[in-house]
Amino acid sequence: MHDQKPEAPLLNPEVTRLKPKKRVGLVVVITGYGKGKTSSAVGMLVRACGHGMRVCMIQFMKGDLYTGEWDGIRRLACEVELIPAGMGFCGIEGNPYPHSVHREAAQRAIGLAEKKIDSGRFDLVILDEVNNALKLRLVDLDQVLNLIQRKPSLMHLILTGRDAHPDIIQLADTVSEVQEIKHAYRRNIEPQPGIDF
Amino acid sequence: MHDQKPEAPLLNPEVTRLKPKKRVGLVVVITGYGKGKTSSAVGMLVRACGHGMRVCMIQFMKGDLYTGEWDGIRRLACEVELIPAGMGFCGIEGNPYPHSVHREAAQRAIGLAEKKIDSGRFDLVILDEVNNALKLRLVDLDQVLNLIQRKPSLMHLILTGRDAHPDIIQLADTVSEVQEIKHAYRRNIEPQPGIDF
């Protein structure tokens, strides 16, 4: 433990610790068009860290635009490997790279994911934006299904990104769809640090 | 900076940093019945930390059941104050406390939130499960609206929990509803560390 802070002031003196009789490595999908998919995965990364687990987070598509979670995760005294492996969101305005370059980067990320999953070193692997990468044909369905199927049974695997494929939802244990009720950018509020990036 | 890890291997050598012309303190609501509300807030906490922001997270209701984010957040080399101020989920099976005890704890949490918001020390304040606490009448609508209205203009405020009140959604800038598509517990898989707690 690298505890640098005093114990949080738990007002409740009796804290129960859940201990599942059976440990299971879950497949979790966080999809939908609302805000809070990657941040949810980062939250679970923190949760896993709190349990002393080792985490690897591979970001598909992301990598060209600075986001605070990169430095935030680096400030965690935990075994976390973070790999922003993308070239930005394929096809959006302002992104200069052709599909082939995005696909090449995503294919490298798939290879990395295979290696990390097979290494057995990690208790949690996060494939951030992989659903979106699949939708945009930067990776193939078989490749993602293969990653899910080859994972060690006790390893958790989180797949984020909009437009999750039905076959992936089918294989997953827990699936959430984050719907947008409203978003600041629709009122022309620019993305704000600490919330949006 | 307390960098203990090497720079993450950004495959993309050109990273752009967004700089909004106008800084805005956002009110963000994460509601719904699916998995990923608190974890989303913790992810934004990490994002904010990455930007060097100071964060206070007050957890309504939570406090009786250990969750990995407590230790995970303590392992962040950032200015984060975490206050699990609750006595567990009011009314669920196994929780021994009457409504009055839960309300008392939630009222203490409201007082704390006021103090933390007014202090001006924080760039981000998270009121975890406050929507749920309101729905269960542990806090009053006026109290939560008051917290939103009194916040410094550049401070971000995140309110999580199911059943967000329409008046709070009305005031918020960004609102996501996390819907459950499926959840492992429905197949009698017990809550798993690193994902569910």
The answer to the question of residue A19 being in a domain is no
Q: What is the pLDDT of residues B109-152, one digit of tens each?
A: 999 999 999 999 999 999 999 999 999 999 999 999 999 999 99
ipTM over 0.85: yes
Q: What are the tokens at A56? A: 């690897």
The answer to the question of residue B192 being in a domain is no
Q: What predicted TM-score, i.e. pTM, was given to this entire model? A: 0.94
Q: What is the pLDDT of residues A4-53, one digit of tens each?
A: 444 444 556 679 999 999 999 999 999 999 999 999 999 999 999 999 99
| Whole-number Å distance between alpha carbons of A144 and A153 | 16
**CA of A142 to nearest chain B CA: how many angstroms apart?**
22
Q: What is the pLDDT of residues A86-113, one digit of tens each?
A: 988 888 888 889 999 999 999 999 999 9
A106 touches chain B (CB under 8 A): no
The answer to the question of residue B6 being in a domain is no
CATH number (domain holding residue A71): 3.40.50.300
What does the DSSP 8-state code read for residue A82? E
Q: Which amino acid would we find at residue A5? A: K
Closest by Cβ to A36, choosing from B70, B176, B190: B176
The answer to the question of residue A153 being in a domain is yes
Alpha helices per DSSP H over A33-183: 38-50, 68-74, 99-119, 130-135, 141-150, 166-171
Number of domains within chain A:
1
Q: What are the tokens at A127? A: 């494939």
Number of H helices, E strands in chain B: 6, 6
Q: What is the pLDDT of residues B92-105, one digit of tens each?
A: 888 889 999 999 99
Question: Which residue's entry shows tokens 């990320």?
Answer: A109
The b-or-e profile of B158-177 (16+ CB within 10 A means b, else e) is bbbbbebbeebbebbbbbbb
Q: Which domain holds residue B51?
A: 27-179
**Does residue A1 surpass a pLDDT of 50?**
no
Q: What is the pLDDT of residues A101-160, one digit of tens each?
A: 999 999 999 999 999 999 999 999 999 999 999 999 999 999 999 999 999 999 999 999
Are the CB atoms for A159 and A127 separated by under 8 Å? yes
Are the CB atoms for A124 and A44 separated by under 8 Å? yes
| Whole-number Å distance between alpha carbons of B154 and B25 | 4
- pLDDT score for A12: 62
The average confidence (pLDDT) of chain B is 93
Task: Say if the Cβ atoms of B18 and A48 lie within 8 Å.
Answer: no
Residues 131-150 of B with CB under 8 A from A: none
Q: What are the tokens at B95? A: 């929780």
